[in-house]
Amino acid sequence: MESCSLGIDIGGTKIAAGLVSRSGEVFEQKNYPTPQESNQSILEVLREIISSFPGIALEMDKNLIGIGVGSAGQVNFKDGQILSGTTNIKDWNNIHITKYLNQFTDLPIWLDNDANTFAVAEYVHGSARGTNDMVCLTLGTGVGGGIISNGDLIRGDWGGAAELGHITVDMNGPACNCGSNGCMEVYASGTGIANRMKEHLAHLAKQELPEEIKFYLENPERLTSKEVFSWYEAGLPVATETINLAIQALSYGIVSIIHTFNPSVIVLGGGLVRERTWLATEIKKNIASKGIRSLVEPVDIRISELGYHAGLIGAASQVWFQQ
């Protein structure tokens, strides 16, 4: 009977759950809408998942040996607790996930930050397999990070290490929700790109803008990074400054990461880069003239191979990666 693990990836809009083999093959996957009523509603979905999947595993003649959970937010890995969550998951703070789930299963459970589980997925099964030292950056609503050094995931004292999106790239830059200023996240996340674009539009004369862009000047709450990238890729000059700023912020942040951790590979993932492989090329070109050459020049910048499945596979892979 082949062994498998249950991976659970908790996101702002959906919770993905699936049985995953040690080789990274997804046998069975189900998606559940992320409840918006309360954190208790989310816990009920998690309880349903860990109650139903053992039976699914048996039907598939699989030996379920453990459960791995990935979630956004500050995660105390030692205690299996979400310390502080994310704005797109309601009241996701001070939640003892493993303590709650242990009431309903005898299987071992691991909980980690979703950027760490992404790093594990790409290290074991994806773009960084075969390396010993890698860093991942997940670019979405925010900017997350995960670091594997000499084959070990760097967590720090309790699990809060690798908040790479909060590396300051401009000490006089815009305020970040972390309490600092000029973080990579305020320029290079989906939210940051949209906010910088709104600021730029506010300083332009309305009559100078194409009709498709005037709408967002009058309805700034509708603007997202998707529109900004679309304008940039269509060659509209109005978006050039904002996207170039994002690329520069990422480039300087990545150079600092390289100076600190000396990785051989940096993997970019998340919604912003999934369909934009050109970002890796632009960043590689930008960092070539920055930093200590012997450290920066050999680093390969890659796009995630696992895409949408990285979170689920990484969460499940904790079961073997921790052993």
The series of mean pLDDT values per 10 residues for the chain, 323 residues long, is: 94 92 94 91 96 95 97 92 83 93 96 95 96 96 95 94 96 94 97 95 78 86 95 93 97 98 96 88 94 96 91 95 71
Q: Using CA atoms, how far apart are residues 254 and 287, in angstroms rounded to an integer? A: 8
- CATH code of 132-304, in short, is 3.30.420.40
pLDDT at residue 202, as a whole number: 86
pLDDT at residue 255, as a whole number: 98
| Burial per residue of 251-265, b for 16 or more beta-carbon CB atoms within 10 angstroms, e otherwise | bbbbbbbbeebebeb
pLDDT at residue 207, as a whole number: 66
Q: Using CA atoms, how far apart are residues 321 and 151, in angstroms rounded to an integer? A: 10
Pairing of strands 143-149, 152-153: antiparallel
Cα dist. 245→182, 229, 259, 308, 309 in Å? 12, 12, 21, 26, 29
pLDDT at residue 282, as a whole number: 94
* Domain boundaries for CATH 3.30.420.40 within the chain: 2-125+308-321, 132-304
Q: Which residue has the tokens 């691991």?
A: 110
pLDDT at residue 131, as a whole number: 96
Pairing of strands 109-113, 62-71: parallel
- CATH code of 2-125+308-321, in short, is 3.30.420.40
pLDDT at residue 323, as a whole number: 56
